[in-house]
Structure 1
Amino acid sequence: MAECAVNGDSDVLIRAEKFKEEANQLFKDKKYEEAVELYTRAIEANPKSSVYHANRSFAHLRLENYGFALEDASTAIACDKKYIKAYYRRASAYMSLGKFKPALRDLEAVVKVRPTDKDARMKYNACSKIVKQKAFEKAIACDDNKKPVSETINLENITVEDSYSGPHIPEDGIDPAFMENLVQTFKKQGKLHRRYAYKILLEVKQILASLPSLVDIVVEKDNKLTVCGDVHGQYYDLCHVFDINGLPSLDNPYLFNGDFVDRGSWSVEVILVLLGYKVLYPHNFHLVRGNHETDYMNQMYGFEGEVKAKYDGMMMQLFSEVFNWLPLSYCVNRKVLIMHGGLMEQDNVTLEDLRSIDRNRQPPESGLMCDLLWSDPQMQSGRGPSKRGVSCQFGPDITSKFLKHNELDYIIRSHECKNGGYEEQHNGKCITIFSAPNYCDQMGNKGAFITLRSPDLKPKFTQFDAVSHPEVQPMAYANSFMRMPGMF
């Protein structure tokens, strides 16, 4: 039995085991938050059980709480260095955080103990391949004179074959008819020709590069703005939003608050539609960068694999360039600040500080840019360590102080799956919006979007359920490590 010896009342240990069994059932029922609560009660009764810590680690992985998952797996290993599942869990957490070398060390420990375990060997080989690839990329990255891929593409050299039956971008550029055609083409599982996909990417890069890192927008009196949260490649649910709320137009502006791609298996379709609308309505359609619009997340969670499967590696490089130029936050009527993650680890940050962030890069591991993409709210006052292992968590007092310092009413952020599609925290001053219903086909949550009407900008929430989609599983294009049994 993979548990440390404990001294304690046998009734307490029996109760702890009962909590664990109930938590295991909740986990099977995909009620991960409730499972975490009961694993915690089991741990409180028997803190030396490696099994309880490893099980809670797995539940945290399902909730994308990678920092907590890492901590629990490490505790399980400290309790029992021979408990192999704990090494699997910690390797998963490390991989999710882009820390491939320590993940490889954990998997190496597993392989040493179980040299004939085919599954362990497959995981080790998958991780080893990534580490070697990263080392190669680092070795060739020293060429400072290498041109961005956007400067090497000549659209005139890309021929549209006579056999192509999808939508064509008119000579005068993208228009509403093209976008409606594109939405319907993707709905029918059709494909956009790569010449037109490249054209959208090149045009949108120029538009995004002209914007500051914090964009100020105005919603005029009696007009509205629709704010959507994470979509995560769930294209058919995105279309459902458009069915409910209308297609984007000059009179029907949208803001999508990051995490357009990864996990869902129609990320290419989602992002091309969103970028196409940004080209069509550059001042009435808005996109904020999320933590999944980054290279290592795309490599692990499916977007890179999907782009390469549907187009090619060069297009993935161009997507990376475009993502680097996505703004990090928006401010509506000088009243409402919108970002993907949340507030910062440091006090007294101003809107001007956010406006002047140098964002044309992959996000650093700390600082304002990292916080805007990764932080989360917490119920307790003050700041706490991030459950994700990146940035921090911030309490209601932090929100209140930031709003007062910058003369704002409230913030809107996304980044977390919510059962009802949204949640109001910090006395209504911190709103989370999430627009991917039944996230990854397993969470059972609703999606939601927010309607803001001027002049008061009081948020109105619209909830919606997931719709059916073709039989392609989430994570279909993810790194093989992430699709292996027992990892996620």
Structure 2
Amino acid sequence: MTEATDVDTQTQDNAEKLKETANEHFKSQNYEQAIDFYTQAIDLNPNVPAYYGNRAFAYIKIECFGYALSDASKALQLDRTFLKAYYRRACANMALGKFKLALKDFEAVHKARPNDKDAKAKYKECQKLVNQIAFQRAIAVEAKTVDLALEVESTLENMKVPNEYDGPHLENGQVTEDFMNDLLTAFKDQKKLHQKYAYQIMIAIKKYLQTQPSLVDISVPLDTKFTVCGDIHGQFYDLLNIFQLNGRPSADNPYLFNGDFVDRGSFSVECILTLFGYKLLYPDRFYMSRGNHESVNMNQMYGFEGEVKSKYSSKMVDLYTEIFNWLPLCHCIEGRILVMHGGLFSEDGATLDSLRTLERNRQPPESGAMCDLLWSDPQPQPGRSPSKRGVGIQFGPDVTHKFLKENKLDYVIRSHEVKHEGYEEMHSGKCITIFSAPNYCDTMGNKGAFITLTGGDLKPNYTSYEAVSHPNVRPMAYANPLLSMLS
């Protein structure tokens, strides 16, 4: 236990009252207010491990996993026997895909309470996941020369569609407007696309994406509309609502979807196949950027892997991984607006040309330009600081303005963060966040939004909207069981 700071009784009592207020906000899912009151309690009395442990849990709820790790570790510095802090740190590490680190904390709790069935269950579940990942990596090394898309393609001719199948059919393997209309109707009615057609779409999209650079340039002709959407996160019925509000994608109604198409929401398969279908139908008028959730670790934890296995197969999971590795990392609109999922860079000097040739056919690394594009966030203060998420960095207005000036850009658009109105302008309007999943995970109460630009002035116009109802399948229904165990 670290040395305590002297705090008088009255101050201790005041801190406890602040903690109780914070707990009430937490119970009401007002996590940011809860964090504020936990922080005030810590400022008055920094000696109480529970304050840090509780704040860590609130940070986890708003996906500030880096801050949660710091708080949980601080709680354990104060009291090595504070078992909840081990759980909080394990949860944050699990969320970041750092499963071996999480396992150490679960093991610590299990050793402290060997007869605790709950502690044992968490330890065993995490151990199983670590072993599974090690096995998968061993197989991947052995099969690294195998192109799964080619392997699946060779089997399609023998993959029969039964006569009783009443869903949409591809015409000679090609996506058409009629097919997309039928697909949206089928998905809305909770029908499943036959696996042969799903595979055909996936194989075709991989072939197309392999021809693209890591930064894709977009042209928006004078006086035409262009729409940018943020995170969708498997909320298919809210995706349909975007198309209802703003029109379905077409040659005259282009879109850019800016990453995190899958995970958390339990209709991720429907979302990704819809977006892939439109990309094939309008390849030069429909665009998709990779998000941090288009990755193996995130998909294992937050539901996409489980959903694909439930609706299709493990082999299809692996094919999605191949495809996600080829998604572009960012887009540049008319040479004036850079759009990426996360944010700007941990080091100065990034250029559009360097981004065009960035190696992307891999899982996201833990540092470097690719990591920053997928994970970083803006901050109000100047400079750079460690990420609140535990991956990437936070960058200030000076970083944004310098990058824009050096690359002759007007502003950047990014996603990656829940915003109350679905959007937020920072850095004097030069860094815009757009988030398109309203009432995120059915709990956050936020609006979704999209941006429309008009060729010529390219000024952002925002449309916010509320969540719509969806079938009675809860978010995270397919997520790794450890997440529900830790919640």
The TM-score bracket by the shorter chain reads: over 0.9
Distance 2:132 2:145 in 1: 19
Distance 1:226 1:133 in 2: 41
Q: Which residue of 2 aligns with 1:118?
A: 117
Q: Which residue of 2 aligns with 1:135?
A: 134
Q: CA 1:263–1:172 in 2, change beyond 3 Å: closer, same or farther?
A: closer
Q: Deviations over 1:400-432 (max 9, x none)?
A: 000000000000000000011000000000000
What displacement does 1:136 show?
1.7
Q: Which residue of 2 aligns with 1:429?
A: 430
What displacement does 1:355 show?
0.6
Q: Which residue of 2 aligns with 1:346?
A: 347
One-letter identity of the residue aligned with 2:202 = L
Q: Which residue of 1 aligns with 2:190?
A: 189
3-state SS of the aligned residue for 2:141? Answer: coil
Task: Indicate the larger mover: 368-377 or 95-104.
Answer: 95-104
Q: Which residue of 1 aligns with 2:369?
A: 368
One-letter identity of the residue aligned with 2:354 = D
Structure 1 residues 161-176: aligned runs within 5 Å: 161-171=162-172, 173-176=174-177
Distance 2:32 2:173 in 1: 51
Could you tell me which runs of 5 or more consecutive residues in structure 2 were left unpaired when the two chains were aligned. Answer: none
Distance 1:135 1:155 in 2: 31
Distance 1:425 1:244 in 2: 26
Alignment partner of 1:263 is 2:274? no
Q: Which residue of 2 aligns with 1:415?
A: 416
Q: Deviations over 1:342-398 (max 9, x none)?
A: 000010110011111010111111111000000000011000000011110000000
Alignment partner of 1:62 is 2:61? yes
Alignment partner of 1:147 is 2:146? yes
Distance 2:54 2:144 in 1: 49
What displacement does 1:6 show?
5.2
Distance 1:358 1:108 in 2: 37
Distance 1:54 1:4 in 2: 18
3-state SS of the aligned residue for 2:73? Answer: helix
Q: CA 1:172–1:156 in 2, change beyond 3 Å: closer, same or farther?
A: closer
Q: Which residue of 1 aligns with 2:316?
A: 315
Contact between 1:451 and 1:459, CA under 8 Å: does it hold in 2?
yes
What displacement does 1:3 show?
11
Q: CA 1:184–1:144 in 2, change beyond 3 Å: closer, same or farther?
A: closer
Q: Which residue of 1 aligns with 2:15?
A: 16
What displacement does 1:206 show?
1.1
What displacement does 1:137 show?
2.4
Q: Which residue of 1 aligns with 2:396?
A: 395
Structure 1 residues 274-285: aligned runs within 5 Å: 274-285=275-286
Distance 2:404 2:268 in 1: 34
Distance 1:236 1:116 in 2: 45
What displacement does 1:454 show?
1.0
3-state SS of the aligned residue for 1:255? Answer: strand
Distance 1:53 1:451 in 2: 42
Root-mean-square deviation (Å): 1.3
3-state SS of the aligned residue for 1:12? Answer: helix
Contact between 1:60 and 1:69, CA under 8 Å: does it hold in 2?
yes
Contact between 1:57 and 1:73, CA under 8 Å: does it hold in 2?
yes
Alignment partner of 1:378 is 2:382? no
One-letter identity of the residue aligned with 1:39 = Y
Distance 1:172 1:263 in 2: 31
Q: Deviations over 1:411-459 (max 9, x none)?
A: 0000000011000000000000000000000000000000011101000
Contact between 1:4 and 1:50, CA under 8 Å: does it hold in 2?
no
What displacement does 1:141 show?
3.2
Q: Which residue of 2 aligns with 1:294?
A: 295
Distance 1:172 1:144 in 2: 28
Q: Deviations over 1:164-198 (max 9, x none)?
A: 11000112611111101101110110110000000
One-letter identity of the residue aligned with 2:86 = Y
Distance 2:322 2:83 in 1: 40
Distance 1:141 1:150 in 2: 15
Contact between 1:3 and 1:51, CA under 8 Å: does it hold in 2?
no
Alignment partner of 1:440 is 2:446? no
Query: Moved runs in structure 1, 4+ residues, more than 4 A?
Result: 2-6
Distance 2:139 2:411 in 1: 45
Contact between 2:2 and 2:77, CA under 8 Å: does it hold in 1?
no
TM-score (norm 1): 0.98
TM-score (norm 2): 0.98
Q: CA 1:443–1:225 in 2, change beyond 3 Å: closer, same or farther?
A: same
Distance 2:140 2:277 in 1: 31
Contact between 1:3 and 1:50, CA under 8 Å: does it hold in 2?
no
Q: Which residue of 2 aligns with 1:203?
A: 204
Alignment partner of 1:106 is 2:124? no
Q: CA 1:4–1:188 in 2, change beyond 3 Å: closer, same or farther?
A: farther
3-state SS of the aligned residue for 1:452? Answer: strand
Distance 1:198 1:38 in 2: 50
Contact between 1:91 and 1:103, CA under 8 Å: does it hold in 2?
yes
Contact between 1:104 and 1:127, CA under 8 Å: does it hold in 2?
yes
Contact between 1:91 and 1:104, CA under 8 Å: does it hold in 2?
yes
One-letter identity of the residue aligned with 1:220 = P
Contact between 1:278 and 1:286, CA under 8 Å: does it hold in 2?
yes
Q: Which residue of 1 aligns with 2:476?
A: 475
What displacement does 1:134 show?
1.9
One-letter identity of the residue aligned with 2:33 = E
Distance 2:466 2:139 in 1: 46
Q: Which residue of 2 aligns with 1:27?
A: 26
What displacement does 1:140 show?
3.0
What is the aligned-residue identity percentage? 58
Distance 1:197 1:237 in 2: 22
What displacement does 1:58 show?
0.2
Distance 2:117 2:187 in 1: 39
Distance 1:238 1:422 in 2: 16
One-letter identity of the residue aligned with 1:112 = K
Contact between 2:173 and 2:200, CA under 8 Å: does it hold in 1?
no
What displacement does 1:274 show?
0.4
Q: Which residue of 2 aligns with 1:244?
A: 245
3-state SS of the aligned residue for 1:337? Answer: strand
Contact between 1:328 and 1:339, CA under 8 Å: does it hold in 2?
yes
Distance 1:179 1:460 in 2: 27
Distance 2:129 2:369 in 1: 28
What displacement does 1:145 show?
5.7
**How many aligned positions are there?**
485
One-letter identity of the residue aligned with 1:94 = N
Distance 1:258 1:40 in 2: 32
What displacement does 1:146 show?
3.5
Contact between 2:173 and 2:197, CA under 8 Å: does it hold in 1?
no
